[in-house]
Structure 1
Amino acid sequence: MDSLLVAGAFSAIVALYLAYRRSSRISLADVPGPEPESFLLGNLRQIFQGQAGEADFKWQEYYDSGAIRIKAPFGEDRLMVSDPKALQYIFQTNPRNFQQPPQDREILRTLLGPGIAWADAHVHMRHRKVMTPAFGIKETKALLPIFRGCVERLSVKWKELVTETSDQSIVLNVPKWLSRATLDVIGEAAFDYNFGALEKTESELGRAYENLMSDAFAAPTPLRIFIQGTMHLLPCRLIRYLLDNIPVSALGRLRSSRGVIDKVAKELVDRKKVEMSMGGSGKDVMSLLVRANASENASSKLSDEEMFAQMSTIMFAGHESTSTSLSWVFYELAKHPEVQSRMRAEIREWETTIRKRGDSEFSMTDYEGMGYTLAVIKEILRLHPIGYHMVRQPRTDDVLPLSKTLLTISGKLVNELPIPEGCKIIVSVAGYQRNMDVWGPNAHEFYPERWLKMGMPNEKNSSVGVVGNLMTFSAGLRSCMGWRIAMAEIQTFLIDFVSNFEFSLTDEAKRIRREACLVMVPMIEGEEEKGVQLPLRISLAARE
């Protein structure tokens, strides 16, 4: 009897303590936000089933705020942030307190393996230390001949296809071609290996990547949204087991693709080890990783599994992200022929300058000198960020500073926002890059000239990203190490293709959706089952 009393008293104390913790925990209840659509889904359906950034723009405008409370399943509060000062705090001022949620990391592990995108804290620092030397300015310059070679091969193919038609123009699904070209680029640049994707109509690696993100993450059902919204309630080990074993088609697609990519990575590593054992000394990323793995310094070593994961991450980020960004560039150029013409004039003027000085190729200095072309690239990266959302959560209670005063539901005016430990923060990259307080009243418009003006709006706010104050390449400790390479690759493609080709919209391209599937890809409204599509009409650009 005494033991029952003790057990009952103990249970009552625990219950009271948990109730106290819930009542005393920092609350977001006073932060304005939309009413939940349902108790089981909250506002998540609006985010996951709409186009990328669609809900963000609507709520940001309605509440005139860069900090908005939204609801997850079971009434859980989450915070959507697009305020520049808050983003600077999360990514630069106090980044070690803001981690990727463990369940999100498990999804990244399923997609890419335990590489730098998955790693956290000291593991992430070790990975970054090993890989950073491969992504400097000198290393980027050395890759320009590789970029030009792949671009030239694709350009020749397109010219052949165009000239074979009776009207000297052809409709091409641009992302498919660009994905094959950028896969060849990353193969040569990062792994000293030619995948031959442009020459092969079909390849195992190409099939593994084709429509991978749209197959796995596009158009989620309400059940999938509920599962994703409640996954954090499960232990990480259980989440990992389910992701690795549950018979769901989307997860099966991820697992099978990962198997192919890991097999290719292992073959490349084995080949590189043999080359280096025979005196080879390549400067590609894989050579760097193999050398680091032979080091006796534990802080410079990666396990074989980590090395394969780094290669998977580089392959994904280095070709899928770049090809998708380029697709959005050509889409906007097709929509704005006057911008395309101005770019072409600038590029050809520089071609003349280069010939006069006796050179045959553009240099990195030339790239930086093409002010309007660079402005167009930055404007597309602003309007169409591939990673439209990131999620962070504080390890401890914290306070977010705000650049714009927030009017709470209770009528208080605040310039900072207390947030509880573990609160899911949806970092709206899409929302930040359309924030009118940062980019001006025409933030939703395609307007490259904003980058040519002195004193542009974003210069008056907190500095955030690594390129043009954009969050497209993230920021701070977890910023994309390959941003210089990505920019140079995009510039190389554009200089050749805008000089030689003219892009125009097709009827199908007028129905393009910004599909939300972890990354933002172009798909045709009503034809989502066909995967990534952006059919543009391509012809040879006239020369005087």
Structure 2
Amino acid sequence: MALDIVIMASCLLVFATTALLWSFIGHHDDKYILLDNVPGPRSHSFWTGNLGQFLSRHGLDFHREISQDYGPIVKVHGPFGRRLLYVYDPDALYAMLVKDEANFEEGAVYFCSSLISKSGNRLIFGPVTNILSSSGEQHRRQRKLLGPAFSMNRIRELYPIFCNTINRARRTLVSEVASGQHELDMFHWMNRITLEIVGQAALGYSFDPLEVNEADDEYGKAFKHLIPLMQEFFILRPLLPYITALGPAWFRRKLVEMIPIPTVQRLKDVTDVLERKSIEIYQSKLHALAQGDDAMLQQIGEGKDIISVLIRENLRADASDRISEDEVYAQMSMVMVAGADTSAVTVTHLLQLLSEHKGIQQDLRQELLTAMEETEFSYDDLSKLPLLDAVIKETLRLHPPITLLTREVLADTVLPLSTPIHGIDGRTMSSIPVPEGTEIIVGILGFNTDKTRWGEDAHEWKPERWLSPLPREVIDAQNPCVYATIMSFLGGKRSCSGLKFAELSMKVTLSMLLSTFIFEPTGKPITWNIALANYPTTGPESDHAELPLKMGLVGPL
């Protein structure tokens, strides 16, 4: 029996590989020649095209160069010579993400990440997809139920949880600095803090007491290992859509268990922990709901956390609008990964920038301390601090945690361009015909730093640009953005549901840290690397994610 499974698995893997190659060969069809008039770089490799440059940990320079050298729509290459488009033109993105969004599905072949692709989600978060990767009626039901959980009133109720969590971390950091520990790894601390914030506010679960020694929590460790493991999984991503279609779930599980690759086995172990703990938390919340309000108040988050709200809304919904338990588990993992990584990366990057711009750091601290003297500093007060708002928007604009996403064209279409381009044949093109099956890379970084709209200083960190009216080119452009005319929270119907949650997390964290600590650079070179969520290292060759900063106390609390 075991030998039969091995033989069957080998045959199916050969089938998957053959299907993959056939799909790539199919993209040399005459209809794809339409894309050849769009300027772009040469293929870097027959095997990976330009994807290795896009997804290399050192690929940020390539992202910047391709937009500067070729403009808002670029032909690039995938594996085996397949043609792709890299797009950040506002009109084209509006058509893709808003006007004709049903014709542009998540990319199915290349970017099977835990945040973007349907196939990656299917392997990592179970056979049922979450709100970021579902489509059609399933996506509508999931978004309808998650909407109330992320409403402004619900986020407002979570404000005390955010404050209490960050206060615990602040007390620990004060003791560390006061005892003479003046250099701390802020990427490590921001990951701990944001994971605990999202754990309590989203799941009603505590991962970490935020003391000096990190808690040995199995669930927390699984989340921290997930993104690095997915990054290591890159070489197998092109096969994922085909592997996920191979036989029933039990067979795919057997297939995964037999693959003699350490990364695959570690990823399997991590996803097993995520699934098991998600089920435990879900069942405990169902039990508490059945016991009534008093039981909910005894839980972490007092029943106000995102998943508790989702479960209540799901139980109240009409049968046609309900989602399955498996779908709820998928939302739990999605909320944790998306929420924790985005906030941790952005706040870490912002602390680095403030350490390098001492004047802005001091001005922001003064804004915060003045506000804290005059009021108890409520949820509403955070929205009235213009410089705090500006530094967050500018950091998200220039350094989005995720640099791209993908879409696949379901039917032949034409993409309009707000800025005409010159084709390779010299003709001016105000629109681009795009055939069915074309993979499109949505250039989040390219859109956010487009010099034709933001000006020649588009690649500079200048929070003051948000303290006065933005350029007309930015304001007047038709775009799919849901936040501050930038794409950092994506756009259209598939934009980030947790936008306000992430924004509140960042604002509360910064307000409490900057009112207590002074941050300075250590002098060590910091390199930011591309991954499923970008991360810093001390120098370009280091494999250890960290961002050390010198810290001092502002004064007594």
The amino acid of 1:79's aligned partner reads L
Quick one: percent identity of the two aligned structures? 30
| Residue 491 (str. 1) matches residue 507 (str. 2) | yes
Which residue number in structure 1 is paired with residue 9 of structure 2? none
TM-score when normalising by structure 2:
0.86
The answer to whether the 8 Å contact 2:125/2:330 transfers is yes
Greater Cα shift, 20-29 or 36-45: 20-29
Q: Distance in 1 between matches of 2:495 and 2:401?
A: 14
SS of the aligned residue for 1:107 comes to helix
The amino acid of 2:276's aligned partner reads K
The amino acid of 1:274's aligned partner reads H
After superposition, what is the alpha-carbon deviation per residue over 1:193-252, rounded to whole angstroms, capped at 9, x for unaligned? Answer: 33334245322122213353234316x8xxx55x54x43884751499499453433333
Which residue number in structure 2 is paired with residue 159 of structure 1? 174
Which residue number in structure 2 is paired with residue 341 of structure 1? 362
| Residue 439 (str. 1) matches residue 454 (str. 2) | yes
Q: Which of the numbers 518, 524, 545 marks the counterpart of 1:502?
A: 518
Which residue number in structure 2 is paired with residue 5 of structure 1? none
Select the structure of larger CA radius of gyration. Answer: 1
The answer to whether the 8 Å contact 2:93/2:479 transfers is no
After TM superposition, give the deviation of residue 19 of structure 1 in Å. 9.6
Q: Which of the numbers 216, 221, 228 marks the counterpart of 1:202?
A: 216
Which residue number in structure 2 is paired with residue 476 of structure 1? 492
After superposition, what is the alpha-carbon deviation per residue over 1:315-356, rounded to whole angstroms, capped at 9, x for unaligned? Answer: 1122222112211111111121111111111111212222xx
After superposition, what is the alpha-carbon deviation per residue over 1:486-544, rounded to whole angstroms, capped at 9, x for unaligned? Answer: 11111111111111111111233x2x2222222212223255332x2111111112589
The amino acid of 2:178's aligned partner reads T
Cα 1:292–1:525 change in 2 (3 A) is: same
Q: Distance in 2 between matches of 1:188 and 1:19?
A: 48
After TM superposition, give the deviation of residue 467 of structure 1 in Å. 1.2
Give structure 2 stretches of 5+ with no counterpart: 1-24, 113-117, 297-302
The amino acid of 1:461's aligned partner reads A
After TM superposition, give the deviation of residue 388 of structure 1 in Å. 0.9
Which residue number in structure 2 is paired with residue 327 of structure 1? 348
The amino acid of 1:190's aligned partner reads A
After superposition, what is the alpha-carbon deviation per residue over 1:67-112, rounded to whole angstroms, capped at 9, x for unaligned? Answer: 0101112211100011122112111111111100234311122333
Greater Cα shift, 314-323 or 139-148: 314-323
User: Across the two proteins, how many residue pairs are aligned to each other?
Assistant: 508
* 1:50-89 mapped onto 2 (5 Å cutoff): 50-63=57-70, 65-89=71-95
Cα 1:283–1:32 change in 2 (3 A) is: same
SS of the aligned residue for 1:528 comes to coil
The amino acid of 2:218's aligned partner reads E
Cα 1:267–1:472 change in 2 (3 A) is: same
Greater Cα shift, 298-307 or 428-437: 298-307
SS of the aligned residue for 1:361 comes to coil
After TM superposition, give the deviation of residue 268 of structure 1 in Å. 0.9
After TM superposition, give the deviation of residue 190 of structure 1 in Å. 2.0
Cα 1:363–1:232 change in 2 (3 A) is: closer
The answer to whether the 8 Å contact 2:76/2:83 transfers is yes
Q: Distance in 2 between matches of 1:277 and 1:377?
A: 41
Q: Distance in 2 between matches of 1:195 and 1:342?
A: 34
After TM superposition, give the deviation of residue 479 of structure 1 in Å. 0.7
Cα 1:252–1:235 change in 2 (3 A) is: closer
The answer to whether the 8 Å contact 1:26/1:418 transfers is no
Q: Distance in 2 between matches of 1:526 and 1:332?
A: 18
After superposition, what is the alpha-carbon deviation per residue over 1:402-425, rounded to whole angstroms, capped at 9, x for unaligned? Answer: 111110000110111111111010
Cα 1:370–1:454 change in 2 (3 A) is: same
Which residue number in structure 2 is paired with residue 109 of structure 1? 122
Q: Distance in 2 between matches of 1:329 and 1:19?
A: 45
Q: Which of the numbers 245, 254, 261 marks the counterpart of 1:248?
A: 261
Q: Say what the alpha-carbon RMSD is for the aligned residues.
A: 2.5
The answer to whether the 8 Å contact 2:39/2:423 transfers is yes
After TM superposition, give the deviation of residue 37 of structure 1 in Å. 2.0
Q: Distance in 2 between matches of 1:132 and 1:20?
A: 39
Q: Distance in 1 between matches of 2:277 and 2:481?
A: 33
Q: Distance in 1 between matches of 2:453 and 2:60?
A: 17
The amino acid of 1:361's aligned partner reads F
Which residue number in structure 1 is paired with residue 51 of structure 2? 44
Give structure 1 stretches of 5+ with no counterpart: 1-17, 355-359
Q: Distance in 2 between matches of 1:543 and 1:293?
A: 47
Cα 1:425–1:19 change in 2 (3 A) is: closer
Q: Which of the numbers 188, 194, 198 marks the counterpart of 2:200?
A: 188
Which residue number in structure 2 is paired with residue 412 of structure 1? 427
After superposition, what is the alpha-carbon deviation per residue over 1:117-140, rounded to whole angstroms, capped at 9, x for unaligned? Answer: 231222111111111111111111
Cα 1:39–1:526 change in 2 (3 A) is: closer
Cα 1:542–1:21 change in 2 (3 A) is: closer
The amino acid of 1:78's aligned partner reads L
Cα 1:336–1:110 change in 2 (3 A) is: farther
Which residue number in structure 2 is paired with residue 268 of structure 1? 281
Which residue number in structure 1 is paired with residue 239 of structure 2? 231
Q: Distance in 2 between matches of 1:314 and 1:370?
A: 27
Which residue number in structure 2 is paired with residue 278 of structure 1? 291
Q: Distance in 1 between matches of 2:141 and 2:59?
A: 33
The answer to whether the 8 Å contact 2:96/2:104 transfers is yes
